[in-house]
Chains A and B, each alone.
Chain A
């Protein structure tokens, strides 16, 4: 931490760049939680789907008909598969549009979709369809271009697993945060909103409801997952909670 001012804190990111995050406003002293936080994790098995697109119109058609699982796989889940990439990878649709259709405008628009703005797959699907559909309308040439490689729709069979970590206190919560796998961080921080149907995540929910750290909870929710690795996300959450407790 280098300093603060105007409600923002400056910190050195993993890549050594100076970044600005909004500083959490002061909370009341933390409460002892009544309910423990159970750290879980989820594992996925990739299933190859029936839909395949060899051009953007076919992608649009498949986006309308594919199962919700496929939308989840190519947006939420692919972030977990590529959790170690800090920038340049957002979702499979954006990646394919750039790499195999050579449509940078569409790729940027699709990459700009933040999965955390959606609490249900149906809304996310609508947004992606809207982007591709608008693009094809404004760029009719793209309707006839064949992609270098097809887009294969996949989906995931998911198994949620417990971990050995259960937090009965903020100290145990911090310890769990440090020890669990990045899959667990992804499960609680990113996938959670599909379970909760809330614009929040499991960590923020618990910190606010059980510990009373509302401002820390809000600050955690604002961490940018698209400019961080999942390990970087973990470290930021740990730092924010540590700062609130000290």
Chain B
């Protein structure tokens, strides 16, 4: 790929939208096209992009996963004092055992988190075991419907769906042993395993990763009697919780600073990825990383970029995925291409899910990062951006306000116009941008790293251990 900057004139005249997909589906788009000239910005130099580019071959197959890091590997990041605190915390529950149960061993944030959490707990001499429930397609269809219904989608709960849910939970319950000191059930799929609590000495904890603020009433009323039998529940945000008779704790989701997506990269590595993907680092880069999903409002991001471009020179990178496997994602990608038109400074990347290092490099190359979601769970892409010290603009939805304190650790927006203004402001006020970026990174370091999550689990384990089964921590207050 040429990185020549001498042909900006011909590039602007051609004004093609550069899009990439792993399959090389880089078709031309004939919808509304707005060129840089039409929005009043003179063409700026940049790398050559053409419609026949494909992702580098190295990105077309997943790399082998690296081994999980050890606790000491985190010391340069969090400091020796925090490592010491983890060891002290673990001392009281040394030798006690934990079982984590969820519904999938690969894919998704929960599995990703457990992959790191379980070895770290074991390294702290709190042996942790991770079990995955099994079920047929019918079970997972029901639990996916439950998941969506708990998020607020309309759903008719049938007797048959309830029976399928209970049958598979019962099968798993009979198959599994619960001899540990703490059993943690993740999400609704295995929630009915709590029926084994009578025969178990363990403290049972329900870790709910989804937003229960506006659930389908019937599905929630079906699940509630199970949830109420647990010793404690954990939610990812205050607003996701329900009124329950058991103690509810707040565990923010977290990122691993040593994962491929978040570890430090040197400048050569960042440059290499930018060269491969045709991103010009000599000009400001505004990036949104997210699936091509309407709830992430990628169309709104393009509109905001176009408004901002009237005043400031920048490129827009939309790096996402999901368009190949998800028909709706493919539709959204087409909509984004339509709105992007043939602007050569809009770079749309439909990346395969294993491109964590490339995402990392794109984020690090960015001048600022946008996450203009309309609805959001916690918004871990915001956490990733903050961790990289990037000034971040994000929609004030879901768990994002927990991460972005307006004008202190980032900026919150509520509209396309607000997003456009903040892009302009941050690009023209680099000292303010630097300051909120630095505070954002500290916020993540304090609250949203994997090691903080390990600490929360150890704290919870200690607190539960001090109370007998059936007692709650609030009894002590």
Choice from B82, B241, B439, B455 contacting A48 with Cβ under 8 Å = B241
* CB of A48 to closest CB in B, whole Å: 4
CB of A159 within 8 A of CB of B446, answer: no
Let me know if B439 and A50 touch, CB within 8 A. no
Q: How far is the CB of A77 from chain B (nearest CB, A)?
A: 12
With A157-B463, A157-B473, A159-B462 known as contacts, the answer to whether A43 contacts B455 (CB < 8 A) is yes
Report the nearest A residue to B83, measured CB to CB: A181
A199 and B243 CA atoms in complex are apart in Å by 38
A106 and B83 alpha carbons, distance in the complex (Å): 40
User: Contact: B238 with A152, CB < 8 Å?
Assistant: yes
Q: Does A33 have its Cβ within 8 Å of any Cβ on chain B?
A: no
B305 at the interface (CB under 8 A from A): no
Q: Name the interface residues of A159-173: CB closer than 8 Å to any CB of B.
A: 159, 161-164
In angstroms, Cα B250 to Cα A81, docked, is: 14
Instruction: Point out the residues of chain A lying under 8 angstroms from B89, CB to CB.
Output: 43, 159, 161
Q: How large is the interface on A (under 10, 10 to 19, 20 to 34, 35 or more residues)?
A: 20 to 34
Taking a contact as CB atoms under 8 Å apart, the answer to whether B477 and A67 are in contact is yes
Taking a contact as CB atoms under 8 Å apart, the answer to whether A181 and B477 are in contact is: no
Residue of A nearest to B78 (CB): A181
Least Cβ–Cβ distance between A232 and chain B, in angstroms: 12
Q: Are A88 and B407 in contact (CB under 8 A)?
A: yes
Give the Cβ gap from B82 to chain A, nearest Cβ, in Å: 6
Partner of B238, one of A83, A85, A154, A161: A154
The smallest C-beta distance from A158 to any residue of chain B, in angstroms, reads 9
- Is the CB of B406 closer than 8 A to any CB of chain A? yes
- Report whether B81 and A89 are in contact in the complex, using a CB–CB cutoff of 8 Å: no
Known: A48-B248, A83-B446, A154-B250. A159 touches B239 (CB 8 A): no
Q: Is the CB of A162 within 8 A of B88?
A: yes
Contact with B along A23-48 (1 / 0, CB 8 A): 00000000000000000010111111
User: Can you name the residue of chain A whose Cβ is closest to the Cβ of B440?
Assistant: A84
Chain A CB within 8 A of B443 CB: yes
Contact B459 A163 (CB under 8 A): no
Interface centre among A84, A89, A152 (most CB of B within 10 A): A84
Asked if A95 is an interface residue, CB under 8 A from chain B, the answer is yes
Q: Which residues of A contact B442 (CB under 8 A)?
A: 84
What is the CB-to-nearest-CB distance from B36 to chain A, in angstroms, rounded to a whole number?
36
Chain B at the A interface: mostly helix, strand, loop or mixed? helix
Are A159 and B249 closer than 8 Å at their CB atoms? no
- List A contacts of B235 (CB < 8 A): 48
Quick check: is B418 within 8 A (CB to CB) of the other chain? no
- Please give, as numbers and ranges, the residues of chain A lying within 8 Å of B85 by CB-CB distance: 41, 43, 161, 163, 181, 183
Which of B235, B241, B407, B445 counts the most A-chain CB atoms under 10 A from its CB?
A: B241
Known: A67-B477, A81-B447, A162-B88. A47 touches B248 (CB 8 A): yes
Contacting residues, chain B, for A84 (C-beta < 8 A): 439, 442-443, 445-446
Q: Does B460 contact A (CB under 8 A)?
A: yes
B459 near A47 with CB under 8 A, answer no
Residues from chain A with a CB closer than 8 A to the CB of B88 are: 161-163
* Closest Cβ neighbor of B412 among chain A residues: A99
Question: B142 near A: Cβ within 8 Å?
Answer: no
Q: With a CB–CB cut-off of 8 A, which chain B residues contact A184?
A: 81
The answer to the question of A69 belonging to the interface, with a C-beta cut-off of 8 Å to chain B, is yes
The residue on A at minimum CB distance from B401 is: A149
Report if A145 contacts B (CB, 8 A).
no
Is B239 touching A152 in the complex (CB atoms < 8 A)?
A: yes
Q: Which residues of B from 445 to 477 have beta carbons under 8 Å from A?
A: 445-447, 455-456, 459-460, 462-463, 473-474, 477
A89 touches B84 (CB 8 A): no
Given contacts A43-B85, A163-B81, contact A85 B460 (CB under 8 A): no
Contact of A82 with B by CB under 8 A: yes
Q: Are A85 and B248 also in contact (CB < 8 A) when A43-B85, A157-B463, A181-B85 are?
A: no
| Distance between A181 CB and nearest chain B CB, rounded to angstroms | 4
| Best-surrounded residue of A69, A161, A164 (most CB of chain B within 10 A) | A161
Q: Confirm or deny: A4 has a beta carbon within 8 angstroms of a beta carbon on chain B.
A: no
Given the complex of chains A and B, what is the CA–CA distance between A162 and B84 in angstroms? 9
Task: Determine whether A179 belongs to the interface, using a CB cutoff of 8 Å to chain B.
Answer: yes
A180 close to B (CB within 8 Å) = yes
A64-94: which residues lie under 8 A (CB-CB) from chain B?
67, 69, 81-85, 88-89
Q: Cα distance A61–B460 when bound, in Å?
A: 30
Is the C-beta of A150 less than 8 angstroms from some C-beta in chain B? yes
Give the chain A neighbours of B443 by CB distance below 8 A: 82, 84
For residue A227, give the distance in angstroms from its CB to the closest CB of chain B.
14
List chain B residues, Cβ under 8 A from A47.
247-250, 473-474
> How far does the alpha carbon of A180 sit from the alpha carbon of B446 in the complex, in Å?
15
* Complex CA–CA separation, A99 to B411 (angstroms): 12
Kindly provide the distance from the CB of A121 to the nearest chain B CB, expressed in whole angstroms. 12
Which residues of chain B have C-beta atoms less than 8 A from A82's C-beta? Answer: 405, 443, 446
Query: Among the listed A45, A88, A150, which residue makes an inter-chain contact with B408, where contact means beta carbons less than 8 Å apart?
Result: A88
**Residue from A50, A99, A149, A159 in contact with B459 in the complex, judged by beta carbons closer than 8 Å:** A159
Please pick, from B80, B248, B405, B462, the residue contacting A89 in the complex, using a CB distance under 8 A. B405
Q: How far is the CA of A50 from the CA of B238 in the complex (A)?
A: 10
B76 at the interface (CB under 8 A from A): no
B residues less than 8 Å from A159 (CB atoms): 89, 459, 462-463
Identify B460's interface contact among A45, A67, A69, A163, CB under 8 A: A45
Chain B residue at minimum C-beta to C-beta distance from A39? B81
B107 contacts chain A at the CB level, 8 A cutoff: no
Cα A144 to Cα B241 in complex, Å, equals: 26
Residue with the greatest number of chain B CB neighbours at <10 A, chosen from A154, A159, A163, A164? A159
B327 at the interface (CB under 8 A from A): no
What residues of chain A lie closer than 8 Å to B447, measured between beta carbons?
81
In the assembled complex, 26 residue pairs joining A and B whose CB atoms fall closer than 8 Å, in A order, are A41-B81, A43-B85, A45-B460, A47-B247, A47-B249, A47-B473, A47-B474, A48-B241, A48-B248, A81-B446, A82-B446, A84-B445, A85-B405, A88-B407, A88-B408, A89-B405, A89-B408, A95-B405, A149-B401, A150-B239, A152-B238, A154-B250, A161-B88, A161-B89, A163-B81, A183-B85
A-B contacts besides A159-B459, A179-B80, 19 pairs, CB < 8 Å: A46-B249, A47-B473, A47-B474, A48-B241, A82-B443, A84-B442, A84-B445, A88-B407, A89-B405, A149-B239, A152-B239, A152-B241, A154-B238, A154-B250, A157-B463, A161-B85, A163-B88, A181-B79, A183-B81
A→B interface (CB under 8 Å): 41, 43-48, 50, 67, 69, 81-85, 88-89, 95, 99, 149-150, 152, 154, 157, 159, 161-164, 179-181, 183-184
Which 4 pairs show the lowest CB-CB distances between chains A and B? A84-B442, A152-B238, A181-B81, A46-B250
